[in-house]
Amino acid sequence: MRGMSPRRCLLLPLLAFALSAAPAGAAVPTSFYTASSMPAKPGLMMKSITVHGGNLPSGGKSDVIMYSSQAPDGKIVAVTGIVTVPKGKAPKGGFPVVSWAHGTTGIADSCAPSRFAGNPPKGVYDRNFRAEASEWVSDGYAVVQTDYQGLGTAGMHPYLIGISEGRSVIDIVRAAHGLDRRVGKRWVSIGHSQGGHAAMWAAALGPKYAPSLRLVGNVPLAPANHIGEQAQAINKVAGNPFGGIPALIIAAGLESAGVAPETALSDKALALYPQIEQVCLDKLSADDSWGGLALNEIFRSDYDTAPLIALLQANDPEDLIIKVPVLIGQGRADTTVIPSLTDQTVDELKSHGVKVTYKTYEGVNHTGVVEAARKDTDKFIHKVLG
């Protein structure tokens, strides 16, 4: 979920890329995120920088990479992310791939997870994920983690725009093979929150968008869903229980619809609008930022939100057709992704013939579901990837 920023890439056409190394524990240089030229196709490696330690999975070699992807408008764009490949000889067919899609961090470029790839984990959530990702590497899986289009690289990040997110999750799998030929073609998409939404779109788009890959499973954990339905009530809510998240949804929605913020937003919202491209979710959620702005104060009184809501509904995941097994995990104490709406999503997916296994966890909140679902997640991944 990152937005505008210049990016530079030392890239030769197509598969050529430059290799370098960052000091252990150091943040990736800002200059790495600028692309000087673009390949003609998505899914190609552009450049990489080796990183060490910190929040990275253990047991393998990790690189922050820049790769090409395709935006919803068809334009080829630069995207960054992290690739961790196990050490040693790969099995026949190469190392299977776990493609992880991260949860909401913001839209500003400074919020891209790869920018802090070598830094120590910030808290329990990061430490738990690092442990799980390290286990995947130990089990012989390559682990790839996209930043998403526009998050760290040029342009506004299309937050919760399914095609953009999904292609980011897919193309890093293709690019990982360009980085290291030991990376195979069999893969699983998995993610949490925004990342659950992204992983579902990747699963729906993958077989047609990247037929050279072989998707075998999908694991959305507390996936963002029914966003359009919830947005219909925005003008009636006097408070703001969601902090900075509505700002991200609205900014990306207006950008995708080609609507100028001045046309849609109130004076109070416009005064806060620049912060969306400057700070991450925690600061956007503060009382002196979007977190202190009531939802019914965001739009101009004369602005018709119906087209924007329709766009959001078109990006909801419940109508997707996913042709591989799906495991959905949801905490019952989640106040960010509403459990009853995830229940509905599961029912809707099943009505389309999607093979869904649904696991719920009593007393588990939004961030806790990743760890709570860990045994079920790992069992599922081992089953589909072998």
pLDDT tens, 130-157? 999 999 999 999 999 999 999 999 999 9
Res. 28: pLDDT tops 90: no
Contact 301, 340 (CB under 8 A): no
- What is the predicted pLDDT for the residue at 12? 29
- What is the predicted pLDDT for the residue at 17? 32
- What is the predicted pLDDT for the residue at 77? 98
* Average pLDDT estimate for 196-221: 98
Instruction: Indicate the average pLDDT of the chain.
Output: 92
- Using CA atoms, how far apart are residues 178 and 172, in angstroms rounded to an integer? 10
The hierarchical CATH code for the domain 18-226+317-385 is 3.40.50.1820
Res. 64: pLDDT tops 90: yes
What percent of the chain stands above pLDDT 70?
93
* Average pLDDT estimate for 55-74: 96
Spell out the domain ranges in the chain. Answer: 18-226+317-385, 227-313
Half-sphere exposure of residue 236, counting CA atoms within 13 Å on the CB side?
4
**In this predicted model, what pLDDT tens digit does every residue of 162-192 receive, in sequence order?**
999 999 999 999 999 999 999 999 999 999 9
**In this predicted model, what pLDDT tens digit does every residue of 230-271 receive, in sequence order?**
888 888 888 898 899 999 999 999 999 999 999 999 999 999
Res. 24: pLDDT tops 80: no
The pairing of strands 214-221 and 326-331 is parallel
Res. 122: pLDDT tops 90: no
- What is the predicted pLDDT for the residue at 11? 31
Res. 14: pLDDT tops 70: no
Amino acid in position 110:
S
- Using CA atoms, how far apart are residues 120 and 368, in angstroms rounded to an integer? 20
* Average pLDDT estimate for 194-200: 98
* Average pLDDT estimate for 203-225: 98
- What is the predicted pLDDT for the residue at 13? 28
Burial grade of 235 (CB within 10 A; 0-12, 13-18, 19 or more)? middle
* Average pLDDT estimate for 102-130: 92
* Average pLDDT estimate for 352-378: 97
- Using CA atoms, how far apart are residues 237 and 307, in angstroms rounded to an integer? 19
pLDDT band at 26 (very low <50, low <70, confident <90, very high): low
Res. 4: pLDDT tops 60: no
pLDDT band at 16 (very low <50, low <70, confident <90, very high): very low
* Average pLDDT estimate for 318-330: 97
What is the model's pTM?
0.92
* Average pLDDT estimate for 220-236: 91
Contact 175, 70 (CB under 8 A): no
